[in-house]
Structure 1
């Protein structure tokens, strides 16, 4: 009697896994067909290596952030962060994140120890900010992480196979979009609003932010490829560690919004 439920549970898990994989594959196909009608022949060796190095640092940074955030949660630091003044937490996290990020950008590549120290500090700041998320259902976080990998993977594929500079002209509109998203996120904290206005600003912050940072994945992927071509000609100093910061921020912002969307759906059920 104990074997049947286990077999049934395992079968359901495999079914969900298959459906998720099919959904991710379908998303890649649809996004590629919609955004990438004109594709390049192939990436050069320099472009491929530079893009791979940038994504390796991105994956490593996200792994360090997740491990550190989990450690902060288990040590009780996440609870203390949530109990602190939100403006103080926001200010410290902004100063720490922006300061360490600028350190990564402006430290020369011939100082690898200092550059990696700033990179580790940046990931530590992200971990401290994200650690309270572990109070949520682990299954919800896993789903959001899986969806994030699917979205970013499909968009990165589109950006890397599209014709050169196709999405680089999106920088201005994306900057305007992220400004609107940021203002819509902060508006409820500083302005008196009714329920309808709060719902509108929340929708702009969640779904508008999801669209904007998805666009940033396309933009940043093509920016990396452009930098690879310039570095190959000796016109740009190759720095995959700095390139990874932009991709990491894109993925974190997409992940946070997916967590909020999924948790909202869970509450309404």
Structure 2
């Protein structure tokens, strides 16, 4: 028998002082980002835009809460350990098929079919929960900090996108897709190519920090897309569908948090301090 190191990452507990400093940092970041990206802001959102944005964020928050609770339950029941013991390519394929299938089912189900649409939406969140359940192997302090930072980042960027005078962030769609491709290749390169230590460090940094920047850009893009759709709904050119809008924001937040996001960055920082 050999002694092995535990998989759980250790970290310092979160204190009220640290939370206050984090909140102050987030508030300062909102001011700085808004001043840098929005030199001119709009006068205010219309009632229709506000209502559509609020409903979208309700579904986003509800989906994330359901995903977190289901992932925690799966971790306690041992699902996370069985996932880690299985073939990673099989797990990746099944999770992709399940997530994409339920997401497409949600997208293509009209809002009038309320029950069917909610079932697909619940299935999508369940697939996300299965994929994210191994995260609870990390220290609760690291997960809590990462979640807090994610909420701060998404909240500040959503505010920037919502208060921009024009739809300039809607032009980011093409560059962001290219960025996702680069980040994905950087993540898969160590699995497919024999890389040296320096090359591995470069691809890891590109995957972590590049992914954070790209999905932060997607928050700006998706926020303005929601407002654009709200105006089309107001004009009678499309049907309101906050659930579809929420899936985009939910994926943005999950990708900022994991897999190449704040959880990994905070875990690496914690390891360097040891």
TM-score tier, shorter chain, comes to over 0.9
Deviation of 1:196 after TM superposition, in Å, equals 1.0
**Equivalent residues in 2 for 1:2-81 (5 A)?**
13-81=15-83
Q: Which range moves more in the overlay, 85-94 or 180-189?
A: 180-189
User: Cα deviations across residues 61-93 of structure 1 (Å, max 9, x unaligned)?
Assistant: 000000000000000011000110000000000
> C-alpha distance in 2, partners of 1:19/1:97?
37
CA RMSD of aligned residues (A): 1.1
User: Cα deviations across residues 141-172 of structure 1 (Å, max 9, x unaligned)?
Assistant: 00000000000000000001111312100111
Q: 1:103 aligns with which of 99, 102, 105?
A: 105
What are the ranges of 5 or more consecutive residues in structure 2 without an aligned counterpart?
Answer: 1-12
* Residues 69 and 128 in structure 1, CA contact (< 8 A), matched pair in contact too: yes
Deviation of 1:15 after TM superposition, in Å, equals 1.8
Structure-1 residue corresponding to 2:226:
224
- Secondary structure of the residue aligned to 1:39 is coil
Q: 1:254 aligns with which of 248, 253, 256?
A: 256
Normalization by structure 2: what TM-score? 0.93
* Residues 164 and 222 in structure 1, CA contact (< 8 A), matched pair in contact too: no
- Secondary structure of the residue aligned to 1:167 is helix
What are the ranges of 5 or more consecutive residues in structure 1 without an aligned counterpart?
Answer: 1-9
**Equivalent residues in 2 for 1:103-252 (5 A)?**
103-252=105-254
Q: Which range moves more in the overlay, 219-228 or 156-165?
A: 156-165
Deviation of 1:14 after TM superposition, in Å, equals 2.7
User: Cα deviations across residues 243-264 of structure 1 (Å, max 9, x unaligned)?
Assistant: 0000000000001100000001
Deviation of 1:13 after TM superposition, in Å, equals 2.4
User: Cα deviations across residues 210-262 of structure 1 (Å, max 9, x unaligned)?
Assistant: 00000000000000000000011011111000000000000000011000000
> C-alpha distance in 2, partners of 1:140/1:30?
26
The structure 1 segments of at least 4 consecutive aligned residues displaced by more than 4 Å after TM superposition are none
> C-alpha distance in 2, partners of 1:247/1:125?
16
* Residues 177 and 212 in structure 1, CA contact (< 8 A), matched pair in contact too: yes
- Secondary structure of the residue aligned to 2:237 is coil
- Secondary structure of the residue aligned to 2:15 is helix
Deviation of 1:192 after TM superposition, in Å, equals 1.3
Deviation of 1:198 after TM superposition, in Å, equals 1.0
Deviation of 1:188 after TM superposition, in Å, equals 1.1
Number of aligned residues:
259
* Residues 93 and 129 in structure 1, CA contact (< 8 A), matched pair in contact too: yes
> C-alpha distance in 1, partners of 2:104/2:270?
38
